[in-house]
Each structure stands twice: as C-alpha cells, then as structure tokens.
Amino acid sequence: MFSPDLKQALPTTDELPCSDDTPVDNEDQNFLPNVLLFLLNSIWANRMDWYFGVDMGVYHTTGVNPRVPVVPDGFLSLGVERKKGGKSRKSYAVWEENEVVPILTLEMVSHTPGGEYDEKMDIYAKLGVLYYVIYNPEFWRRDQHQPFEVYKLVDGHYQLQIGEPYWMPEVGLGIGRYQGTVAGIQQELLSWYDQQGDRYLRAEEQAEQERIRAEQLAEYLRSLGVDPDNLPSAN
C-alpha cells in the first residue's frame, strides 16, 4: 500500500494515454472482447458496480513505473463505477479506483506473440488479477498450449483450470466458446454462461427466439381456426 503522499504524486488518468498505441494484428482482438462487453450490458443492465474495458491501459503500482500500463485485450473489474464520476474512462488507474484491480483479464494470442504465457502472466500475478483467460484459436499448436485456457491465481501463482465453460463463483459468471453467427458470418465466439452452464444469448439471438415463438403461436392459433392478426380485444 502506498503512502498518501506518494499516492498524491501519482499521475491522473487525464495525464495518461488511453493505451500503449500498439495496433492489434487481427480484427478479432477488438471484436471478441466487445462481444463480451455488449453481452454484459444486457446481463448486468441493472448493475452499476462493474466495468469492462477493451484494449485499455491498466495503470498500476506493482510494476517498474506507474506510467507504464499493461493493456489487456479485455478486463473486468467489480465494485467500481460503470461511469467514473459519470464520465467515460480514458484509462484505468488502480489508484483512482480505490485500489480495485481487475478480477479478470483476457488476452488473445495473435500472429506476433505478445508474452501472454510469460511476461503478461507475471504482470497480472503481481497485480493480483484473480482470473486470467488466454484465447489462442490459431496458434495454440505453435505455442504448445490449448486454444482456450483459464488460469486462477492461487497463492500468488497461476494454476490452469479444467472445464469449459468455466464457472467463476467470485465473478458470478462462466466463460467459454461456442459457434455462432454475427452479421451473417459464422465463427467461434466467446460468451458468458450461467452457473448451470447455459449460454447467455446476445440481444439479436433473443430477438430471433422471440420471433420464432411468435410465429409458432400464430401457427397454433391458425390450426384452431383463429386469425392471429384479428384477435378480439381484451376490453
């Protein structure tokens, strides 16, 4: 824990860059974390005590310099404001968040290895991130790992967990992969799951299910000789 004087000397997020300006080398590095974010906006629509950042600098005091961020592809913090002071965050500085570190970070391995299995793992362990998810669908054989791995911090060290979707009781969510379609394109996606292992549906999937149920109801009414477009008024 830093002394009040030292904490006062730390820069504010207004003074710090949003990220490290390192470009992503494939669109999924930005797209898939945003899929998780948009899904959380639906699951936790009524909660104001969480924040999910995408490609945003996390500034902390457990490294060599508090002005040098670690930049996960995605991260989740609990017990913080959805909007910091009612405004969008420029970056995430732990000392401005009541020392709340992310409870989960997500790294997506790309063509150019970015230290996901060593350097970043060490940074997140020192920072105290409870869950570290590494998604490596393309280069897992090259890296001698599995395509999807969840690590949990135990006694200061990450231990690989078993099971998918993997349930995280401290978060109240599970995380895993599935085959889905977005904008007409089928691909493997990441998603949140409930404790029973059921996947939370995206907004467009929910709308499609409701449309199908409405069509099924209409067909049932027609089979009874009732015109679903001319139902009697309830009044």
- The CATH number fitting domain 4-200, selected from 3.40.50, 3.30.160, 2.60.40, 3.90.1570: 3.90.1570
Contact 75, 39 (CB under 8 A): no
pLDDT tens, per residue, the chain with 235 residues: 455 555 557 878 777 766 555 555 567 788 999 999 999 999 999 999 999 999 999 999 999 899 999 999 999 999 999 999 889 999 999 999 999 999 999 999 988 878 999 999 999 999 999 999 999 999 999 999 999 999 999 999 999 999 999 999 999 999 999 999 888 889 999 999 999 999 999 988 888 888 999 889 888 888 888 888 887 776 6
DSSP sequence for 8-25: HHSPPTTTS-SS--PPPS
Which residues lie below 8 Å from residue 157, measured CB to CB, with a gap of 6+?
125
pLDDT recorded at residue 90? 92
Cα 214 from Cα 86, distance rounded (Å):
39
3-state secondary structure of 150: strand
Spatial separation of the C-alpha atoms in residues 137 and 148, rounded to whole Å: 7
pLDDT number for residue 172:
98
Please report, as a single letter, which amino acid is at residue 220. Answer: Y
pLDDT of amino acid 1: 47
Report domain extents, the chain: 4-200, 201-235
The pLDDT score that the predictor gives to residue 224 is 87
pLDDT at 234: 61
